[in-house]
Structure 1
Amino acid sequence: MKRLIEKGLMFGNLYHVSSHALVERYNRALEHLTGRRTQLADFHIDLSGYSPEIGDEFGDDLYLNHNGVNRQFILLTTEQKRCPLLNVKFSTSREILKRFITDNETQLFALTATDAVAGELINSVFDISHPARLFDITSIGIEADTTTGTLRHAERLAGLVDRFKTEEDGWFDDVLIAEMIGLAQKSGDITRNPVRLKQKSYDQPDFWTAHFGGAYLFRSVPHPALIAVGDKQGFDGVPLKHVFDLEDRNQIARFLDLNDLVEPIVKARGIDAVAILRQKMDFIVIDAAADLDLDLTGLTRPDIRRLARANADRLPRAYHGLNALLKWAVEGGRWPRIDSSDPAYFYSLRAADTPQRDLVNMLLANLTPLDIRQLFICHKQLFYDLYRTWPETKRAFVADFLDREYQVDKAGARAALFGHEPDMGGRPPPRPVEEIVRRVGPWGAVRR
């Protein structure tokens, strides 16, 4: 994994906590939440304030996520909204934390100027002992305050101010006035600078979870279903009629079609379908070449296609299915019949523009693990898990490829998969991205 870390493909874009003041604020919040303190003088944190260095120090990667259910967080700065979220147990956690920071950015900026904000994502369950408990999770609440209780004091002070204004003898109540003065010293002037956080509850109807070997739960679509990554028998007893696993390709394809959740790449508007198909085929060739123990050092795209021609009889069915689709896209003619029983089927799809888009792209990445770029973008944890199992030659090629071609144009690649979404800081993508996508294709420049 060292190669990925060095290239910024793992633990990239974390926030560096290096000043003594910030380390001390973090420790106060950490002690407030967990009763522990770090001895490190500097470290890096993700969106939630989790630090991989502190995880190593404690021997506990879930020190802010006990049981993997109610994730705690420590905010030292609103800049954390630009960071990734590590050790994800629920796919919605990152988006909820980002929205919470964005919805309350002014208030959080003021609060973190002098203290850390500590809090927790609250589910209605505290442990998930059976898959049926997943269905008890319908929304996520957020509890947050500074380590000195600024918000709690401000709320108490607001109530006392109301009493002072409305009670007939409020002006003469020395005890009430003294308590107001004491709280004002802790919370500041709430009449000029009110410190209240907005939007503390977020719906979570559809999500992926790492629990029980992994599962995708779709509840808000017209035809709900649960799709297990492992054996679906482990989900017996859940309150849902349709439960599939990744071996149920026909049923998953039918589910995606009935709910209008996907579209064929070759029929999607505004993208270079030929470039996408060729790149997917290249990734399949690389995987086959690695299995054959061929040297992948310095391979160019022409080299990869020469490998494909020389080893055509050894390539998997998915390659030949995509090749038929490519010929149709380039030359026209008869539409190739590729149904869900064909290994190329899910490689030929992308998520439609629906509220479940990101979750569907994550599921497609799970179904098409040879497409290493989509896997890296849509399902990083699975990418890292599979990366550890690959031959060294494939690990080196993939790391170099992502560093060379994804890192330089993240916006262009994401535009093809997700549409025009804001960046990690909440800003809309720059207009030149559309021109880049039209010119070189959403998966990067392809030399023809």
Structure 2
Amino acid sequence: MKRLIEKGLMFGNLIRVSSAAWTGLYNRALEKLTGRQTALKEFHIDITGYSPEIGDELGDMDYLAPDGGTRQFILLTTEQKTAPMLAADLSVLRDVLRRFIADNESQLFSLTARDAVIGQIDDHVWQMDGPADLTQIRSLRISADTTGNHVAEADRLTAMIDTFRNGRDAWWDDVLIARMIEQAKKSGDVLRHPVRLDHTDFPVPDFWTDDFGGVYLLRSAQEPAMIFADPDRKADIAGVVSFDLTQRHQIAAWLARNALAEPIISARGADAAPILRQKMDFVLVDAATRLGLETGNGGRQELRRAAARMGDGLPPEIRGLSALLRYAEQGGDWPVIDSGDPAYFYALRATPGPARDLVNRLLSELAPHDLRQLFITHKPLFYRLYQTWDEGKRAYVAEVLAREYQIDKQGTRDALFGSEPDMAEPDASAPPGPWGPATTRLPRVSLSDRGASRPAGPWGA
């Protein structure tokens, strides 16, 4: 993993903590949350205040999430909103915490100017006995305060002020007035400088979790679904259809019925040819590694020469991707590629919408050799697989990601997945796509339709 760290592909964009003041504030917060402190004078933290160096020092890489339970955080600065989140067991955690910081930025800026802010993220579910309990996670609530309880103290003073203003004969209550004066010494002037965190509840209709072997829950779709990475953990859940990643035909049909994915070739604004070439490169690197073929520096010409020597070992994905590439560059007849083709999911990307990022993560598991998409959308799985590769594949992948993604992250994401979706309604005059015209509401599929063995795909039956 050292190579990834050196190239900024792991532990990148963390916030550096090196001043004695920040270290002191962090230790005060850490002791209040965990009863422990760090002896490190310099370390780095993510958006939650988690530090891999401190985790290594304490021998507890989950020190801010004891027993995998309550997710706690430490904020030293509002600049943490730009940092990544390491070891997220719920895909929406970083986005929720980032929105919390952004929505309460002026208040948090004032609080962190004098103290560290500590808190926890609550999913309202006390115990996870089975996959069905995941459907109970509908929103996340963030509770936060400083280590000196500035928010709680301000709330107490605010309550006293309300009583003083609205209570009968409160103007003559000397005891109340004396308490208000003493409280103001602790909390300051809450009328001129209110200390209140208002935006603390965030709905989460769609998410991925690493519980139960990895599960996707998408409720924003017309036909809500739960998709299991581990077929042995799959369960029938009331109110949603259930799939596992081996049910490629059923997942393809579900994506099409709910208009959640589209072919890269016909996607608006996508430059399909270079995207397909890069996907083919990654597929060939994986095959060459498995077959023990030399690929030199991993350039495109070396990979093509290696492909010529693969014979029967040529990856089955290459045939379909090559047909799509020819169509993108030369036109002609639309390639007939259905969900039974190994190249099918490599040629898709999520459509704009609330579930876009989660669907792209799902597609990365269905097309696991597209390592660039896997790195961007599903880092936990990427890092786990990286440790199983040989040295040549690690070097190639790290070099490509550093050269083609790291230097322009947002540009690469826009090229691959499209720009961030806005709130505009779909254009009714737009030409129909391969699955037909876009619709705002799609019909739900009855339970009897779930077992279709091989549905028609966008490129053929």
Q: Could you tell me the TM-score, scaled by structure 2's length?
A: 0.88
Q: How far apart, CA to CA, are the structure 1 residues paired with 2:176 and 2:67?
A: 43
Shift, 1:26, TM fit: 1.0
In structure 2, runs of 5+ residues without a counterpart are 422-461
Q: SS of the residue aligned with 1:267?
A: coil
Of 256-265 and 321-330, more deviation after overlay is shown by 321-330
Which digits, 9 at most, give the CA deviation of each residue in 1:55-81, with x for residues without a partner? Answer: 112222221123434311110000000
Conserved 8 A contact 1:69-1:123: no
Q: How far apart, CA to CA, are the structure 2 residues paired with 1:314 and 1:130?
A: 41
Q: How far apart, CA to CA, are the structure 1 residues paired with 2:19 and 2:282?
A: 43
Q: How far apart, CA to CA, are the structure 2 residues paired with 1:29 and 1:126?
A: 25
Q: How far apart, CA to CA, are the structure 2 residues paired with 1:111 and 1:241?
A: 43
In the other structure, the counterpart of 1:74 is 74
In the other structure, the counterpart of 1:382 is 381
Runs of 4+, deviation exceeding 4 Å: none
Matched, 1:228 2:233: no
Conserved 8 A contact 2:76-2:112: yes
Q: SS of the residue aligned with 1:226?
A: strand
Report the identity percentage.
56
Matched, 1:26 2:26: yes
- CA 1:313/1:330 → structure 2, altered by over 3 Å: closer, same or farther? farther
Matched, 1:287 2:286: yes
In the other structure, the counterpart of 1:132 is 132
Matched, 1:207 2:207: yes
Shift, 1:127, TM fit: 3.0
Conserved 8 A contact 1:138-1:204: yes
What is the number of equivalent residue pairs in this alignment? 421
- CA 1:418/1:266 → structure 2, altered by over 3 Å: closer, same or farther? closer
Which digits, 9 at most, give the CA deviation of each residue in 1:275-322, with x for residues without a partner? Answer: 111110011111111112233442322222232234354211111110
Conserved 8 A contact 1:65-1:72: yes
Aligned residues: CA RMSD: 1.5
Shift, 1:168, TM fit: 4.3
Of 403-412 and 235-244, more deviation after overlay is shown by 235-244
- CA 1:198/1:270 → structure 2, altered by over 3 Å: closer, same or farther? same
In the other structure, the counterpart of 1:367 is 366
Matched, 1:148 2:148: yes
- CA 1:189/1:296 → structure 2, altered by over 3 Å: closer, same or farther? farther
In the other structure, the counterpart of 1:406 is 405
In structure 1, runs of 5+ residues without a counterpart are 423-448
In the other structure, the counterpart of 1:275 is 274
Q: How far apart, CA to CA, are the structure 1 residues paired with 2:328 and 2:236?
A: 45
Matched, 1:10 2:10: yes
- CA 1:241/1:21 → structure 2, altered by over 3 Å: closer, same or farther? closer
Q: How far apart, CA to CA, are the structure 1 residues paired with 2:300 and 2:315?
A: 19
Conserved 8 A contact 1:69-1:89: no
Matched, 1:91 2:91: yes
Q: How far apart, CA to CA, are the structure 1 residues paired with 2:131 and 2:310?
A: 45
Q: SS of the residue aligned with 1:142?
A: strand
Q: How far apart, CA to CA, are the structure 1 residues paired with 2:368 and 2:75?
A: 34
Q: How far apart, CA to CA, are the structure 1 residues paired with 2:130 and 2:66?
A: 17
Which digits, 9 at most, give the CA deviation of each residue in 1:308-351, with x for residues without a partner? Answer: 23435421111111001111222222222111111100000001
In the other structure, the counterpart of 1:261 is 260
Q: Aligned letter for 1:169?
A: D
Conserved 8 A contact 2:294-2:306: no
Q: How far apart, CA to CA, are the structure 1 residues paired with 2:220 and 2:331?
A: 38
Q: How far apart, CA to CA, are the structure 2 residues paired with 1:21 and 1:64?
A: 21
Conserved 8 A contact 1:297-1:397: no
In the other structure, the counterpart of 2:118 is 118
Q: How far apart, CA to CA, are the structure 1 residues paired with 2:53 and 2:289?
A: 33
Shift, 1:241, TM fit: 4.7
Q: How far apart, CA to CA, are the structure 2 residues paired with 1:160 and 1:170?
A: 10
Conserved 8 A contact 1:295-1:393: no
Q: How far apart, CA to CA, are the structure 1 residues paired with 2:238 and 2:146?
A: 39
Shift, 1:174, TM fit: 2.5
Of 26-35 and 267-276, more deviation after overlay is shown by 26-35
Which digits, 9 at most, give the CA deviation of each residue in 1:234-293, with x for residues without a partner? Answer: 233532452111100001101111110001000011121011111100111111111122
In the other structure, the counterpart of 1:348 is 347
